[in-house]
Structure 1
Amino acid sequence: MPHRPTRRFVRVATALLASLLIAGCASGDGQSPVPPPAPAERSAVVQTASGAVRGVLAPGYRVFDGIPYAAAPVGPLRWQPPASPVPWQGVRDATRPALRCPQDTKVDPDYGRPTGEDCLSLNVWTPDGATKDKPRAVMVWIHGGGFLNGSADIYDARWLATQGDIVVVTVNYRLGTLGFLAHPALSPDGDAGNYGLADQQAALRWVRDNIAEFGGDPDKVTVAGESAGAMSVCDHLVAPGSSGLFRAAILQSGPCQTQADRPTAQRVSLDYAASVGCGDPATAAQCLRALPADRLLRPPLYVGFDADMLTGPVSGTDRLPEDPMAAIGLDRVPRVPVLIGTNADEFTLFTAIKFLQNRGLPPYPKLLADTFGADAAAVEANYPLQRYGGSTGLAYSAAVTDGEFACPADRIAAGLAHGAPVYAYEFNDRTAPAPDPFREVPFPVGAGHGLELRYLFDIGGAPPLDPAQRQLSDQMVEYWSQFVKSGAPDVTAEPQWPQLGADASTGPRLSLQTGKLTITTDFAARHQCPFWATR
C-alpha cells in the first residue's frame, strides 16, 4: 500500500503549525520565546573556540542566541559540507536570534524574522549553577517542519533549563533545496543531498568541542527532535559521521520510514536544476551556485507523488549509507538508550489542514480510495465511520495516525529494544491547546501532531495551559530531563516509567495525560498494528 498521507500533508501542516506558533510568539501574549536583551552589567560572556560570545543572564538561566557553528554556506560553500566558523575578534553579541535558514514564507510566514543563507547557528540555554567544574547533561534539539520550514528560536527551553537543570542546544540547519538538493554535479563523491544532515552533525561536533565552556557535559549529550527532527535523529542513529557524538536519543512523532534513496533524489534534482535554468550537467554546479536564494525556495520533492511530496535526507549515500528503518530492523544501530513516542491523534492536525484548505472533506470512501488505493476497502472495514460517530475527519485521521505514525514507531521501538533500553510513551491529552484555526473544524484535533511541544517548551500561539496541563508539563519536563541526565526517565515521586522490553507489541508505555499518568500495554492492539503490518 502506498504510504501517501504523511508525505501528502506533512510539509503544509507542520509549516502552518510552525507559523501559528511563531505568530503567537510575536503577538505579545507574554510568552516570548527569547528574553529581551539584558543590560550590559547582567550579560554573560563565554569563550568558544571561535571567539567570545555575550548572552543574556535571566532568572535561573543564561541564554546565548545565534552562535555560529559553521561558516556561512554561501558562494563556493553553497552545497558543500559545513566548514569551520570564521573566528571573530572581541565579544560577539549573542542576545538575539540569528537569521532563519531560507524557507518559503508563503506557507510559513516569518513575521518579521529575517531569513538568509548565513544561518548555521545555534542557541544555548544553561541553568544557573552549571559550570566547567559542575557540568550538566546536554540535550541537542533538532526542529521539525518537514525539512522545509522552522528554526531554532521557536523553542524556548527555559523550563528544561530551570526545572530540569540541563543544558539545551537548539539548532538551525539548511532546509529545502539548499539543504537537500542531490544533483550529482554538486556531490560527485557520493555524498548527495545531505547538507542539512551534515549541518546537524557539525552542530553536534560543536557541542562536543565547546559545550563545557557553557557548563555542559560533552560526555552526556542526548540528540532529540520532533517530526522531521525525529526523522533526523533516526538518521543519526545509523549515519557513520554521527557515531560517538551522543549517548542517548529522543524521537517524538517521527515518520522515519519517509526517506528518499539516492537514484530517486538525483533524478529529481537533475529535473529541478533544468527547471531553474541549470540543465547542462557540465555547468550545473556553477549555475546553481550563482542563483539568488529566492530562486531556490521551491524545493526538490523526492518522496510521494505529483506535488504532494517531501524533500529531506537521502539514503544510499556516503553520509547515510543505509535507510534507517532497514538498519533498525536488522539491529544495525548503536546501543544507546532511546525515549520514543507518538501522539494519540497525530493525523487530526493534517486532516484539519485539508478541511480548512478545501472548506470540507471529500466523502469517506473517496478519501480512502485516494489515499490507500486497492486497500481502501480493507481500511474502511477496520475503521468504519460508525465507530467514530459518523465523523469522516476522525475516522480518516485514526487510520492514518495508526498506519503512518503509531505503528511505524512501534516497529522502530521494537527494533531498538533488542539492543538497548527503550522507553516508550503516548501523549494522550485530548484537550491540548491548539492554535485558533484548528478549532474551526467540525471534529476535535485532540492530541494532534506537535501539540506535545508546548508542554516541553515555552511556545506561544495557543491558549495557555490550564492548571492540570501545567502539572502534566512539569511531569514531562522532569521525565525528559532525567532521561537526558541518566539515560533512564527515573523520577522520584512520579509513576515509574518501565523499559519497553523485547516484546514491544505488549510492552509497557507511559500514557501522558492530565490527571493520573498510567502505564498501558495495549498500544499495538489499540492502533491495529497487526493489520498495518500486512499492508
Structure 2
Amino acid sequence: MGLVVSLALLVGCSQGVTATPRQQAPAAQAGPAVVQTADGAVRGVVAPGYRVFNGVPYAAAPAGPHRFQPPQPAAPWPGVRDATKPGLRCVQDTSFDPDYGRPTGEDCLNLNIWTPDGAGRSSRKPVMVWIHGGGFLNGSADIYDARWLATQGDIVVVTVNYRLGTLGFLAHPALSPDGDVGNYGLADQQAALRWVRDNIAEFGGDPTKVTIAGESAGAMSVCDHLVAPESAGLFRAAILQSGPCQAQADRATAERVSAEYATSVGCSDPAAIAECLRSRPVKELQSAPLYVGFGPDKLTGPVTGTDRLPVDPMTDIALGAMPRIPVLIGSNGDEFAMFAALQYLKDRGLPPYPKLLADTFGPDAPAVAQHYPLDVFGGNEGLAYSAAVTDSVFACPTDRIASGLARTNPVYAYEFNDRTAPAPDPLRVVPFPVGASHSLELRYLFDVGGAPPLNPAQRELSDQMVAYWSQFVKDGNPAVSGLPEWPQLGTDGAAKRMSLQTAQLTLTEDFGARHNCPFWATLKGAR
C-alpha cells in the first residue's frame, strides 16, 4: 500500500484576505490551568509534571466561503474556553480507521500544547512543533501524547491539525483567482507556526527557539517549510522522520487531476466550479484527487510551482539553498514492511513477486529482481518486496537529502533499528516480520497506544531517544551527557549515522551500501 494509511490505523485507536484587527480578550483569572492567548483565555489540564491544553483554535473554521482559502484568524472568545478535551479532527475518510468514532469536521484548525513543570514567562522552554503524518489524507494531532518529551525532555510540545485530502490540497485553478492553487493544508501549518510565535510565551515556551518536526507526511511538510517563503523565520531547526521529500506534485499535474476530480463530483460548469465545490456536502469531499506517489497507490499533497511553494525541496537541496539551520533526519530499517503487511491483510495475500515488482517499478523491475533475488530472502515475497521499496522510496532518498544538506548545514542522521518494536495486532499475524517498520519509532517518543507496551530494554531506548530529540530542540545538537556522542553527518564516504536499537546504540558508516543506494542511483527513475 502507499503512504495513505493513517497513524490511527496503526496505533489502534499565508497569503490571504487581510483580516480586521483583533481585540484583546479580557484577562482571565490567574492559575496554572488558565493561560491567556491573543484570542482569549483557555483552561487546560494540570497533571503531575506537566500541563496540557487541547483543541486551542489557531485559525477560523475554513468552511463555507472560507473553504479552499488560506486560513483566517480565529474569532476572539469571551470568558475562559475549555481546553481539556481534543478538538475536532480534520475531515478525512474514516471508513478503514478504527478510531472512526471520534468526530471530524471543517472547524478543525486547532492545536494542543504540552508544557513541563517550571515553564512560565520567566522560565521559557524551547518548543517543538509536531506535524502529524497520514499521507496528507488522514491523521490528527491528538494521537500524539507528548508528556514524555515534556516531562523528561523539559521542552514545550505543540501538536497541530491541518486540512487534509481534497479540502487541504485540491488545486483547481477556479479556486484561486491569483493562481496560487492548492496547499491549503500547508498554509494551515504556517498559520499554526505564526500562532506559536505570537502566543507560546504565555505557555512558557520560547518563541525564538522553535523546532519544527514531523514523521511521514509530517516530515514531507517540514521539507516544504525549508523552502516555502512564508515559513522563513518561523523556526530555527528541523526534524524529519521517515519522510523523504520526493512526494511533491507539480502544478500542471495537480491542476489537471483536480479538474478531473471536480468533474467527478458534479462541478463542471466553468462559471460555477468554485461555488459548486464550496457548497458540496463535506461527505462528498472526503476522498481526494491523486497527484503523485509510488507503486499502485498514490497520495495527494503539497503542490510546487505555486507562490506558497515555488520550488521542489529536492531541487533546493541539490542547490544547497536551504536555510543554514540544524537538521535531525532519519528513517527506519524496515520502512515498507508495514505497507506490505497491510496489503497482505487487505488482499489476503500478496501477488507473485514479479508482479509486485512490475506494478511498483515498471521497466526497472527486472533490474530490481536481479538485485533483490527472492532466494536471498528465503523465498518470502513480503520480505524481498519490503526490502526493495524500503531502499528505493525511503532509505536512499533520505540518504540523498541528508548528504545534500550536510554540505551546508549541521546534520545529525539516524536509522531506527529495533526490529522487535511493538506493532499493532494485525501486523503481527502476517507471514513475515514487520521489524523496524514505518511509524513504529513514534511510540518511543510519544505515548501512543494500540500495541503491546515497551519492554524494559525498549523503555530504555525510548528514554535515550527522548533525551536526544529534546536536547536537539534545546540547542540544535543532540549531545546528551551519559549517552554515546552523536556526531554530525560528514560529506565523506565514512559518514556516521546513529543506529537506534536496544542493548547498545551504535554508529554506522555503511548505510548507503546496506540499502543499495549506488544501485538505485543508476536507475532511470531513481528518486
Q: TM-score range by the shorter chain?
A: over 0.9
Identify which of 100, 124, 133 aligns with 2:113.
124
Residue in 2 that maps onto 1:262:
251
Matched, 1:155 2:144: yes
Residue in 1 that maps onto 2:306:
317
Shift, 1:22, TM fit: 4.2
Residue in 2 that maps onto 1:32:
none
Shift of the 113–525 alpha-carbon distance from structure 1 to 2, 3 Å rule, reads: same
Partners of 1:249 and 1:89 lie apart in 2 by: 36
Preserved CA contact (<8 Å) 1:19 1:110: yes
Shift, 1:307, TM fit: 7.2
Matched, 1:526 2:514: yes
Task: Give the counterpart letter for 1:533 in structure 2.
Answer: A
Residue in 2 that maps onto 1:31:
none
Identify which of 206, 209, 218 aligns with 2:207.
218
Shift, 1:56, TM fit: 0.4
Task: Give the counterpart letter for 1:66 in structure 2.
Answer: G
Partners of 1:82 and 1:110 lie apart in 2 by: 27
Gaps of at least 5 residues in structure 2 are 14-28
Preserved CA contact (<8 Å) 1:108 1:149: no
Residue in 1 that maps onto 2:487:
498
Residue in 2 that maps onto 1:18:
8
Shift, 1:89, TM fit: 0.6
Shift of the 123–336 alpha-carbon distance from structure 1 to 2, 3 Å rule, reads: same
Task: Give the counterpart letter for 2:510 in structure 1.
Answer: D
Residue in 1 that maps onto 2:350:
361
Task: Give the counterpart letter for 2:414 in structure 1.
Answer: Y
Shift, 1:308, TM fit: 2.5
Shift, 1:415, TM fit: 1.1
Shift of the 45–305 alpha-carbon distance from structure 1 to 2, 3 Å rule, reads: closer
Identify which of 371, 377, 383 aligns with 2:372.
383
Larger deviation: 280-289 or 336-345? 280-289
Larger deviation: 251-260 or 472-481? 251-260
Shift, 1:248, TM fit: 0.2
Shift of the 158–211 alpha-carbon distance from structure 1 to 2, 3 Å rule, reads: same
Larger deviation: 369-378 or 339-348? 369-378
Matched, 1:58 2:51: no
Q: CA RMSD in A?
A: 1.4
Shift, 1:43, TM fit: 6.2
Shift, 1:42, TM fit: 8.4
Preserved CA contact (<8 Å) 1:147 1:228: yes
Matched, 1:97 2:86: yes
Shift, 1:112, TM fit: 2.2
Shift, 1:274, TM fit: 1.1
Partners of 2:212 and 2:434 lie apart in 1 by: 28
Shift, 1:455, TM fit: 0.1
Preserved CA contact (<8 Å) 1:69 1:84: yes
Identify which of 1, 9, 31 aligns with 2:2.
9
Partners of 2:451 and 2:30 lie apart in 1 by: 35
Partners of 2:339 and 2:388 lie apart in 1 by: 12
- Secondary structure (helix, strand or coil) at the match of 1:493 reads coil
Q: Deviations over 1:214-239 (max 9, x none)?
A: 00000000000000000000000000
Residue in 1 that maps onto 2:286:
297
Aligned residue runs from structure 1 range 426-505, under 5 A: 426-503=415-492, 505=493
Residue in 2 that maps onto 1:30:
none
Gaps of at least 5 residues in structure 1 are 1-7, 24-39
Task: Give the counterpart letter for 1:172 in structure 2.
Answer: N
Task: Give the counterpart letter for 1:211 in structure 2.
Answer: I
Residue in 1 that maps onto 2:25:
none
Shift, 1:358, TM fit: 1.2
- Secondary structure (helix, strand or coil) at the match of 1:353 reads helix
Residue in 2 that maps onto 1:511:
499
Partners of 1:234 and 1:449 lie apart in 2 by: 18
Preserved CA contact (<8 Å) 2:295 2:361: no
Q: Deviations over 1:222-275 (max 9, x none)?
A: 000000000000000000010000000000000310110001101111111111
Q: Deviations over 1:305-339 (max 9, x none)?
A: 89722110000000000011111111111111000
Matched, 1:138 2:127: yes
Q: Deviations over 1:172-193 (max 9, x none)?
A: 0000010000011111212211
Task: Give the counterpart letter for 2:35 in structure 1.
Answer: V
Q: Deviations over 1:406-430 (max 9, x none)?
A: 0000010011111110000000000
Partners of 1:457 and 1:384 lie apart in 2 by: 37
Over the matched positions of the two proteins, sequence identity in percent amounts to 74
Residue in 2 that maps onto 1:273:
262
Residue in 1 that maps onto 2:21:
none
Task: Provide the aligned length of Structure 1 versus Structure 2.
Answer: 508
- Secondary structure (helix, strand or coil) at the match of 1:185 reads helix
- Secondary structure (helix, strand or coil) at the match of 1:281 reads coil
Shift, 1:361, TM fit: 1.2
Partners of 1:41 and 1:465 lie apart in 2 by: 39
Preserved CA contact (<8 Å) 2:182 2:302: yes
Identify which of 411, 426, 432 aligns with 1:422.
411
Preserved CA contact (<8 Å) 2:294 2:360: no
Shift, 1:380, TM fit: 1.3
Identify which of 177, 180, 187 aligns with 2:169.
180
Q: Provide runs of 4+ in structure 1 moved above 6 Å.
A: 40-43
Shift of the 305–335 alpha-carbon distance from structure 1 to 2, 3 Å rule, reads: closer
Residue in 2 that maps onto 1:233:
222
Matched, 1:203 2:196: no
Shift, 1:155, TM fit: 0.1
Q: Deviations over 1:492-517 (max 9, x none)?
A: 000000000123x5300000000110
Identify which of 391, 400, 418 aligns with 1:402.
391
TM-score (norm 1): 0.93
Matched, 1:107 2:96: yes
Preserved CA contact (<8 Å) 1:506 1:524: no
Partners of 2:449 and 2:165 lie apart in 1 by: 25
